[in-house]
Amino acid sequence: MRGKALLLAVIGKKNASHGMQIGAAHIDSPRLDLKQMPLYEDSEIAYFKTHYYGGIRKYQWVTIPLELHGVVVTRDGTVKDVVIGADPTDPVFVISDLLPHLAASQNKKSLGEAIPGENLNIIIGSEPVSGDDGADKVKLNVMKILNEKYGITEEDFLSAELEAVPALPVREVGLDRSMIGAYGHDDRSCAFAELAAIIDMDDVPEKTSVCVLADKEEIGSEGVSGMQSHAFECFIEDICAAQGVELRRCMERSFCLSADVTNAFDPTYPEVSDKRNNAKLNYGVGIAKFTGARGKSGSNDASAEVVGRVRRLFAENGVVWQMGELGKVDEGGGGTVAKFMALRNIDTIDAGVPVISMHSPYELVSKLDCYMTYKAMKAIYLEK
Ligand code: MN
Ligand code: MN
């Protein structure tokens, strides 16, 4: 889907009138997008201005290595892929922060206000171009390098989507290597489970299995590549049409596991969770009957019947699972693609990998929970 989302299916033995078994995860993650006119020079340092995407805690994004990914579309329509910083021999980028010696005023500000969004400016160069007497020579030098490498001009940023993400490799965490640290576990840990489960399918499933890897979840599932887009209907309808089945008949009998991460109980911050109702690391895939905020606002809120169906299915397939809720009542909240699947008259429930430090540059999950999410996805796809 337009280079941003992906839909896969394995056609089942039964036709689409029996419904489909759907897994829906998202593959976008919170990040720093470059603004459309990002490049500037200040005091002989060149910068990119950014506008953050998704829910971030801004103070976490300064003084860490960043890499750039995205596309630049030039005026003649050529799409150029840009990846800088992912290769260990590449340079990386960074956003500055104050030294403690001069942070007396900043230290008095609240955590949410200490780093304003407009301060998330990425340092990209400091060397002036040689043999030029004009202004902004550092900026010019950076543009020269980009032009040599990618054949782009400053104007091409207007039609570019460039994103800065942490340049931190995925690593095993803990002496026992029981955990995985990485950027973007939300929601790639679940997206991977979904994808691996559909690829590993040996037999033709009873019902058609559908793996959805959606974009734009972190900003509300908006846009043509988000889960609210009718691109999903187009895909399902193509299968239905080939089998002479009406789309609405298929939808009402389909089942969706909205595979998205949940928060794992963090013993360092116990005050934000109800210990009895929060998912924990190493207790398996975390089912969330509802998400949302305050009085469950913005939630899918799966029925008891749907929860019961998943309990039974997981028990039959040896899936270790747990029930979880996103923190204490009125402490905050969040949403997933679940409600947009339910809108389509599809029974839907949230379940996924519990995460510590969700939405941070380096999120933490347990291997056991990842494996159980994979097994859970397999059970969903293969339900008879
Ligand atoms: Mn998510
Ligand atoms: Mn998220």
The amino acid that residue 292 corresponds to is: G
Give the dihedral of Cα atoms 194, 199, 200, 203; nearest 10 deg. 110
Residue 84 has pLDDT above 90, yes or no: yes
- Cα of 261 to ligand 1 centre, how many Å? 5
CA distance 23 to 284: 17
Nearest bound ligand to CA 353?
1
- Cα of 74 to ligand 2 centre, how many Å? 31
CA count, 13 A, side-chain hemisphere, 287: 25
Nearest bound ligand to CA 26?
1
Mapped onto helix, strand or coil, the DSSP state of residue 62 is: coil
Nearest bound ligand to CA 189?
1
CA distance 227 to 241: 21
Using one digit for the tens of pLDDT, what is the confidence trace for 23-67?
A: 999 999 999 999 999 999 999 999 999 999 999 999 999 999 999
- Cα of 236 to ligand 2 centre, how many Å? 26
- Cα of 145 to ligand 2 centre, how many Å? 35
- Rounded mean pLDDT of the chain? 96
- Indicate if the alpha-carbon torsion angle 272, 274, 275, 279 is positive or negative: negative
| Whether 16 contacts 375, CB under 8 Å | no
Alpha-carbon distance values, 77 to 52, 69, 146, 160, 220 (Å): 26, 19, 18, 11, 29
Mean pLDDT of 232-251: 98
What's the CA angle centered on 319, arms 316 and 324, to 5 degrees?
Answer: 120
- Cα of 325 to ligand 1 centre, how many Å? 14
- Cα of 227 to ligand 2 centre, how many Å? 14
- Cα of 145 to ligand 1 centre, how many Å? 36
Mean pLDDT of 178-184: 98
Residue 120 has pLDDT above 90, yes or no: yes
- Cα of 320 to ligand 1 centre, how many Å? 21
The predicted pLDDT at position 347 comes to: 97
Residue written as token pair 């399902």: 236
Mean pLDDT of 200-212: 96
H-state helical runs in the chain: 104-107, 111-114, 137-150, 185-199, 231-242, 247-252, 304-316, 338-342, 367-381
- Cα of 23 to ligand 1 centre, how many Å? 13
Mean pLDDT of 134-161: 95
Domains with residue ranges and CATH for the chain: 6-29+184-381 (3.40.630.10), 31-166 (2.30.250.10)
CA distance 24 to 213: 6
Nearest bound ligand to CA 55?
2
pLDDT bracket for residue 134 (50, 70, 90)? confident
The predicted pLDDT at position 131 comes to: 82
Give the percent of the chain with pLDDT over 90: 97
- Cα of 32 to ligand 2 centre, how many Å? 14
What's the length of the chain?
384
Neighbours of ion ligand 1 (CB under 5 A): 186-187, 260
Using one digit for the tens of pLDDT, what is the confidence trace for 260-296?
A: 999 999 999 999 999 999 999 999 999 999 999 999 9
Nearest bound ligand to CA 53?
2
Give the percent of the chain with pLDDT over 70: 100
Mean pLDDT of 347-357: 98
Nearest bound ligand to CA 27?
1
- Cα of 311 to ligand 1 centre, how many Å? 22
Nearest bound ligand to CA 191?
1
pLDDT bracket for residue 145 (50, 70, 90)? very high
The predicted pLDDT at position 132 comes to: 75
The predicted pLDDT at position 133 comes to: 80
Which of 182-191, 206-215, 324-333, 354-363 is the least confident region? Answer: 324-333
Residue 220 has pLDDT above 90, yes or no: yes
Nearest bound ligand to CA 30?
2
- Cα of 28 to ligand 1 centre, how many Å? 8
Mapped onto helix, strand or coil, the DSSP state of residue 278 is: coil
- Cα of 229 to ligand 2 centre, how many Å? 19
- Cα of 353 to ligand 1 centre, how many Å? 10
| Whether 323 contacts 287, CB under 8 Å | yes
- Cα of 336 to ligand 2 centre, how many Å? 8
The secondary structure element, H or E, covering residue 336 is none
The predicted pLDDT at position 126 comes to: 98
Which of 12-16, 211-215, 245-249, 325-329 is the least confident region? Answer: 325-329
